[in-house]
């Protein structure tokens, strides 16, 4: 079982890969297909995603497309769920 620290690190890694990508929607789709436990990402609320993106932004620098990233994640997660 993964620890909370490890889970948060995986979430930040996912978001940093997406944030650094040229095509956010395509990268979200790829990352969710690779992630065996996509509930880790899809279980997050908009507020939680925003908080994690702010943490990632502190590490990688300003993220201009936060809303685009959040919407792409929520849309892709919704397509898996229904």
Tens of pLDDT along 48-67?
999 999 999 999 999 999 99
- Gap between the Cα atoms of 1 and 6, Å rounded: 10
> Above 80 in pLDDT, residue 71?
yes
| 44 three-class SS | coil
Q: What is the pLDDT of residues 7-53, one digit of tens each?
A: 999 999 999 999 999 999 999 999 998 877 788 899 999 999 999 99
Q: How many domains does the chain have?
A: 1
Q: How high is the pLDDT of residue 50?
A: 97
What is the pLDDT at residue 82? 56
| DSSP letter, residue 36 | T
Domain range enclosing 21: 4-81
pLDDT at 1: 74
CA distance 43 to 38: 8
């Amino acid at each position: 079982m993964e620890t909370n620290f490890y889970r948060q690190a995986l979430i930040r890694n996912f978001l940093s890969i997406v944030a650094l990508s040229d095509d956010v929607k395509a990268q979200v789709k790829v990352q969710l297909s690779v992630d065996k436990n996509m509930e880790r990402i899809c279980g997050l609320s908009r507020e939680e995603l925003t908080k994690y993106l702010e943490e990632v932004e502190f590490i990688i620098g300003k993220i201009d497309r936060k809303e685009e990233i959040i919407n792409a994640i929520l849309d892709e997660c919704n397509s898996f769920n229904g």
